[in-house]
Amino acid sequence: MDPDIIILKQRALEGIVISVQETIKKSESYGTLYGKYKEGKDNSVKWIVEFVLPNQLVKRCGKSIIYERKKDIERAEYFEFKDKVLGTFHSHIPVREEEGLSKLSKEDKKDMEHNRIDLLIGIKRIKKEGIIKENPYLISWYPRDNGQIYRADMKGYYLNKRMRRAILKAPKDIFKVSK
């Protein structure tokens, strides 16, 4: 069986990077993913994320947010885009001494639905940029804000009988251009 893959088009990746950057100090960012879903002959799956829609109306409490992923997905499906809703993305930011974990929380897992994807971006404060090693399951970059350097690690999760991680593919050269 071929591995399951999430392909992020440039505009989708840019949308996530910008959304994460905007809220990096204050809150988690959160939004909906749109695109195409394809099943291969051997039951392998590809999610092609064409664009993202940051959700501006999540309830914010302190540094975390409250959302109901199922409701948000339903709401997003009312829009008449030709691309369908594939899932959601959100970030975990550093709070006080703790860095943002790049894994799903218990609450995140409860919200997952069969074949929906969840892109999670864990954000840590770091002192200095290192070399990013190639990892097919991870997209990493270094956001900056007011002299603070962060490392953002994005992972793609989906539910198919159990929680799994998909291979992530994206045009990573957008990060070089932004420096």
| Residue from the set 14, 83, 99, 108 that interacts with Zn ion by CB under 5 A | 108
| Span from 17-25, 94-102, 103-111, 136-144 in contact with Zn ion (CB under 5 A) | 103-111
Q: 36 with 50: CB under 8 angstroms?
A: yes
DSSP string, 130-159: -PPPP-TT-EEE--EETTEEEEEEEEEEEE
From the list 4-12, 101-109, 130-138, 150-158, the region that binds Zn ion by CB under 5 A is 101-109
Tell which residue, 100, 105, 86, 93, has the closest CA to residue 60. 93
| 44 forms part of the interface with Zn ion (CB under 5 A) | no
Q: Which stretch binds Zn ion (CB under 5 A): 46-54, 102-110, 142-150, 164-172?
A: 102-110
Of 105 and 148, which has the nearer Cβ to Zn ion?
A: 105
Residues near Zn ion (CB under 5 A), total: 2
Instruction: Name residues whose C-beta falls within 8 Å of residue 16's C-beta, 6 or more positions apart in sequence.
Output: 8, 29, 31, 52, 89, 119, 121, 154
Least distance (Å) between residue 121 CB and Zn ion? 10
Give whichever of 50 and 143 is closer to Zn ion, judged by the CB atom: 143
Q: Are 138 and 155 in contact (CB under 8 A)?
A: yes
Q: Identify which of residues 10 and 105 has a Cβ nearer to Zn ion in the complex.
A: 105
> If 0-12 CB within 10 Å is exposed, 13-18 middle and 19+ buried, where does residue 122 land?
buried
Record the tokens describing residue 111, joined without a space. Answer: 């919200």
Give the range of 19-27, 45-53, 98-106, 122-130 binding Zn ion by CB under 5 A. Answer: 98-106
Nearer Cβ to Zn ion (41/106): 106
The CA-to-CA distance between both ends of the chain, in Å, stands at 39
- 105 sits near Zn ion (criterion: CB under 5 A): yes
- Please tell me the distance from the alpha carbon of residue 171 to that of residue 24, in angstroms, as a whole number: 22
User: Which residue has the closest beta carbon to Zn ion?
Assistant: 108
Is residue 43 a contact point for Zn ion (CB under 5 A)?
no
In the complex, which residues of this chain contact Zn ion (CB under 5 A)? 105, 108
